Each structure stands twice: as structure tokens, then as C-alpha cells.
Amino acid sequence: MTFRAAYAAHFYFMAAIKTEKITYRKPGFWQRLRTGNLNDTQLGLLLLAPALITLFVVMLYPVLNVFWQSLRGEHLLRPWLGSPFVGLEHFQKILWGRNMVWDLQNLLSWRILGIATLLPLWWFAARGVLKRWTALAWTLTILVVFGFLLGLHPGDSGRWGDARFWNSFNITLLIIVLSVAGSFLVGLPMALLANITSPLRWLVRLAMLLPWAMPRVFTGLTFAWLFQSDYGVLNDLLARAGVNNLLQGVLEPNLIGAQGILWLSRVVPAIIAVNITIIWKTSSFVGLILLAGLQSIDKSLYEAATVDGANAWQRFWSITLPMLRPAIAVALIFRTLTAIQTFDIPYAMTRGAPGRSLETLGLYIYNTIQASNIGYAAALSVVLFALSLGITILYLRWIYTE
């Protein structure tokens, strides 16, 4: 290229830039990344990418996959069938039965109890104390709980397509109610005590953090040994306190062995033992959340109340509890969601024994997978997922409306 041509080209380019015929290419993505000139959205997406990709692949994809698998009848012991599309057959088997005629007694008791709890609820709703939607949500919950716990569930009479599912559903519901309520009742005083400055504070904290950090399996094994009916320390302590002799006449004789209550080999004691174990393991978590709630309460509120002559009990009811409400809600949500998935502790303590009385929903799903019935296990997982989703939505409604 001659000098003249280059000279002419220079002027041509200058003119072209002025008239915006040619624009310089903007620096590319990687160049701007190197020089640190990305805008917020680009940098943000770049930083969020690893976390979001992990969550998509490991959490979201499996959930969608489970929904899909639940419609197919894969069974690893019958590989020649492949995984045929069966539609909602699994759900029909889980949620419905062969002969759904309720007997009159069950129906009556269910109706009476339902009406007895629903009437005040709707009375409050009509008076405007409760929001309509809240009342409706609680109505549904009560119907489900009363329906399955008291009336609708006919036990092993075989009317349900899958009585084993309803058994596991009931025990899971029972564990949710007992252990969440229990861990809250233990966790609240725990938080109040841990809030006090005392020379033993570090020991209190250790006593609260140890149950939290202890693996659930270890907890289950430890408590299985404590509850052991012949050589367990609990029965020994009960015997020393004289409780054993007291119980001898009161309890049914088949619940009591030579050394005391047969904790893990009879149904009702086993349910109590497992719940106590779960409460020991989880109440410290509730306590820690409530402790944080306590520490965020403005101290001047208490001083004002004391000046006005309120005693400790009144201060607790009218300041501490209302101010703790958000922390209580959070603790309850977390606890309920973990209680739905109860698996480790019953597995470690009794593997669901005696019989199948402690087979929670989680254990049932695990056993179904072990029995190679993959499609059915997926359908059960969908039910579990729907249950936790429903409970979360219910709680969130409760938080946001009040």
C-alpha cells in the first residue's frame, strides 16, 4: 500500500467515524472481565453461576425427575418391563382405597370433633379476628388431621389401597405434632436460661451445642442404649425413684418387663422414646433461634414495664412472647420441615420396629427403594414433597398475615 493510499484511507476512516458509519467494537466480555469493567448484572450472574448451577443440577432437576418417575412403573426386580407409563396409578393406590365406605361410628366421631374445632374458627373469621383465607387454610389442615387421625383412617382393615402408607403417614404426623411441640416447650425455657449471664454460661452453651452437633444416628444409638429395657440407665433411675413399682399396677402388664418399661419393644413406649430422643436432639436448635430473638428485644421495654409495676410473669406474657413471634415462626418452620423427613433416629433406634409402628414416611420410602420399587418410591416422594410444600405455604401465610 502506498503512502498516498494510506493517507487517503486515514481520512476516510476519520470521516466514517464522524458520521458513525464504522464504530469501534466494544471490548468483549472476557476483556472487560480481565479489566474489571463488567456491569453489575454480568458480574452478578458470573458470581451466582456456580451456586445456581449446583442447585439446578442437584436439587431442582431431581425434584422434576421424581415427578416424572412417579408416573412410571419402574421396578428393578422386573427389568424386562422397563419403565412403562402408568399415569396416576401410584397415586390412586396411595391416596384411595378399594371400598371407601366409612362406618357410621367413625363418620360421626369425625364430624363431631371437626365441627367442635371448626365452629369457633369460623366464628372468629366472621367477627373479623381472623382473615378468611387463614381460616380456610386452617380448616383444610384440621380436616386432614382429624380426618386421618380420628375418623377416615380405617387402620389395617384393608380398605385403603396402601395401608402401610397411611400407617407411616400417621406416625409421621404424630412425630411432627409431638416433637415440634415438645422441642418448643423445652427450647423456650432453654433460651431464657441461656440468656442469663452466669459463671456456668460456657457449660450451658456446650450443653446446647452438643445435641445440635451430634449426628442424628449417634443420638439414636446413644438413646437406644439409655432406653434399653434390661440394662439401660433410664429404667434403673426410674426403679431407684420408685416409679417402676408405681407403674406396675397402672400400666398394662405386657408393657413392663423384669427391669421396667419395655421401651423399644412395645408400640406406645417406643413412640414416646423416639419422640424424647428427637426432642433432645432438636430443642437446642429451637433454643438457639429463640435466644437470638431474645437478645434482639429492646431492654428499655422491660424497664418501662417494671416501672409500671409489671411482675416477671406479666413481662414475659406481654413483652417477651409477642416480641419473640418472628423467631418462634422461623423455629417452627425449620422444625416442622425436618420432622416431616424423620428418618435417621427411628432407623438407628429400632429400624421402624416394633412391627411397622415406627416406620415413618421417610423410612417407608427408603424401604420401598430397597425393595427396588423405584416408581412407587418416587410417587411416595412426591407426596412427601407436597406435604412439606403445603406446610411451608401454610406457615408463610400465617407469618405474612399476622
Report 263-322 residues binding another protein (CB under 8 A): 280, 284-285, 288-289, 291-293, 296, 312
Query: Does position 250 bind another protein by CB under 8 A?
Result: no
Of 177 and 221, which has the nearer Cβ to another protein?
Answer: 221
Report the interhelical angle of 374-401 vs 321-340 (nearest 10°).
170
- DSSP, collapsed to helix, strand or coil, labels residue 28 as coil
CB of 259 to another protein, least distance (A): 7
**Is 82 an interacting residue with respect to another protein (CB under 8 A)?**
no
Residue 212 found at the interface with another protein (CB under 8 A): yes
Residue in 139, 170, 341, 372 binding another protein, rule: CB under 8 A: 341
Q: Site for another protein (CB under 8 A): which residue of 209, 268, 371, 399?
A: 209
The one among 27, 44, 79, 355 contacting another protein by CB under 8 A: 44
Which residues between 122 and 181 bind another protein (CB under 8 A)?
none
Q: Which residue from 191, 224, 211, 207 is spatially nearest to 292, judged by alpha carbons?
A: 191
**Residue from the set 7, 12, 96, 225 that interacts with another protein by CB under 8 A:** 225
- CB-based contacts of 258: which residues, under 8 Å, 6+ apart? 230
Contact between 334 and another protein by CB under 8 A: the answer reads: yes
Query: Is 60 one of the binding residues for another protein (CB under 8 A)?
Result: yes
Among 86, 324, 327, 339, binds another protein (CB under 8 A): 327
- DSSP line for 309-328: T--HHHHIIIIIHHHHHHHH
Choice between 92 and 259, CB closer to another protein: 259
Residue with cell 428485644: 297
Q: Which of 71, 216, 263, 332 binds another protein (CB under 8 A)?
A: 216
198 contacts another protein (rule: CB under 8 A): yes
Contact criterion met (CB below 8 Å) for 59 and 368:
no
Residue 297, exposed/middle/buried by CB under 10 A (0-12, 13-18, 19+)?
Answer: middle
Q: Provide long-range contacts, Cβ within 8 A and 24+ apart, for 268-274.
A: 270/349, 270/350, 270/353, 270/354, 270/357, 270/358, 271/171, 271/174, 271/178, 271/357, 271/358, 273/223, 273/227, 273/349, 274/175, 274/345, 274/346, 274/349, 274/350, 274/358
Cell numbers for 166: 397411611
Nearest-approach distance from CB 392 to another protein, in angstroms: 5
**337 is a site residue for another protein (CB under 8 A):** yes
Contact residue for another protein among 134, 219, 350, 357 (CB under 8 A): 219
Selected range binding another protein among 2-10, 102-110, 202-210, 244-252, rule: CB under 8 A: 202-210
Nearer of residues 1 and 51 to another protein, judged by Cβ:
51
First to last CA, the chain: 80
Q: What letter does residue 101 receive in the DSSP assignment?
A: P
**Residues of 212-246 as b/e, b for ≥16 C-beta within 10 angstroms?**
eeeebeebbebbbebbebeebebbeebeeeeebee
Among 19, 23, 30, 50, binds another protein (CB under 8 A): 50
Please say which residue, 93 or 205, places its beta carbon nearer to another protein.
Answer: 205
Tell which one of 188, 208, 238, 324 touches another protein (CB under 8 A). Answer: 208
By CB under 8 A, tell whether 48 contacts another protein: yes
